[in-house]
Amino acid sequence: MKLFVYGTLMRGMPFPMAAFLEEHAEFVCDGWLNGRLYELGGYPGLVIFPEGGSNRVTGHVFEMADSDVVLTKLDAYEMIDPVEPEKSEYLRVQMPVNTGLGILDCAVYVYNQSVEGLTEIPEGDWRAWFYSRESPVDPGRFRVGVFEKGKGNT
């Protein structure tokens, strides 16, 4: 199963869960989809536009060998509530992602809250945005422990 990531989980990012993903999945290629990224306080939220549009969000495609194990941890990291997913910060959906290898069907985490008043991230490139400014989050502590006894971000 393939996964498209566009923020803290991107290849080479200084977040522990990015390292987890790289240890448990194989990088396939760069990709993009139609949408917009919004700044959520040191991490991005993706809003998709399946009908098309000119706004591109760039990211990375990974192939997961054991998708059940990986997605269980990533769903917790993305704070998906399995009991009431409609109240979750993100939802995981399957959608086509454009790549140099063609269109690939990927799991994608999309933002599930209002974007009113949020800053749009220019050119849909969160990694460039993250490194171009001082981040308000400590990558080494960001959402550490979210899947350990429901601790949340410590």
The reported pLDDT for the residue numbered 36 is: 93
* Interatomic CA distance for residues 63 and 74, integer angstroms: 14
CATH number for the domain spanning 79: value is 3.10.490.10
User: Who contacts 40 (Cβ-Cβ below 8 Å, separation ≥6)?
Assistant: 111, 118
Strand pairing class (25-39; 90-99)? antiparallel
Is 146 contained in some domain?
no
Is 117 contained in some domain?
yes
Contact, 61 vs 32, CB < 8 A? no
The reported pLDDT for the residue numbered 54 is: 66
Taking only the tens of pLDDT, the chain with its 154 residues reads 999 999 999 998 888 999 999 999 999 999 999 999 998 888 899 998 766 556 899 999 999 989 999 999 999 999 998 889 889 999 999 999 999 999 999 999 999 999 999 999 888 998 888 888 765 555 554 444 444 433 333 2
The string of DSSP letters for 122-151 reads: GGG-HHHHHHTS--SS-TTTTTTTTTSTT-
Is 68 contained in some domain?
yes
Strand pairing class (102-111; 2-5)? parallel
**CA dist 143 to 74, 78, 152, Å?**
11, 9, 6
Is 143 contained in some domain?
no
Contact, 5 vs 59, CB < 8 A? yes
The domain tally of the chain equals 1
Is 109 contained in some domain?
yes
For residue 97, what are the domain limits? 2-131
Is 154 contained in some domain?
no
Is 69 contained in some domain?
yes
Return the ∠ at Cα 30 (arms to 41 and 104), rounded to 5°.
105
> Which pTM does this prediction carry?
0.85
